[in-house]
């Protein structure tokens, strides 16, 4: 089973929260709120999207690039974890 299928409910909930944040940005623009408020909402959206991206990338690496059932303490598994850590740090 693919990681996105296994985590489908959690991932869909995250995307629904992101949709709500985007709607809040749109509403702020329509209502002509201060640019600082709009920028903060956009930054929150970006953080949420980056977090979702990191989660999907991590799942892809763990379940499609490195088989989690084969040698979880191998050099390959450690290298995969390093890539995941770098991606998460980059996307923050």
Residue 1 has pLDDT above 60, yes or no: no
Distance (Å, rounded) from C-alpha 83 to C-alpha 77? 10
Domain range holding 68?
Answer: 3-91
pLDDT value for 22: 98
- Interacting residues of 92 by C-beta distance below 8 A, sequence separation 6+: 47, 50
Count of domains in the chain? Answer: 1
- Give the domain CATH number at 63: 1.20.58.1000
- Quote the pLDDT of residue 69: 60
* Least confident range of 5-9, 13-17, 23-27: 5-9
Radius of gyration of the CA atoms of the chain, in A: 17
Arithmetic mean of pLDDT, 38-66: 92
- pLDDT for 79 beyond 90: no
Residue 70 has pLDDT above 80, yes or no: no
């Amino acid at each position: 089973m693919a990681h996105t299928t296994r985590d489908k409910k959690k991932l869909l909930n995250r995307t629904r929260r992101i949709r709500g944040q985007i709607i809040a940005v749109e509403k702020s623009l329509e209502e002509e709120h201060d640019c600082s408020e709009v920028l903060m909402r956009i930054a929150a959206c970006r953080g949420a999207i980056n977090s979702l991206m990191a989660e999907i990338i991590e799942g892809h690496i763990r379940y499609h690039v490195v088989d989690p059932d084969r040698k979880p303490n191998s050099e390959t598994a450690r290298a995969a974890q390093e890539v995941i850590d770098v991606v998460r740090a980059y996307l923050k």
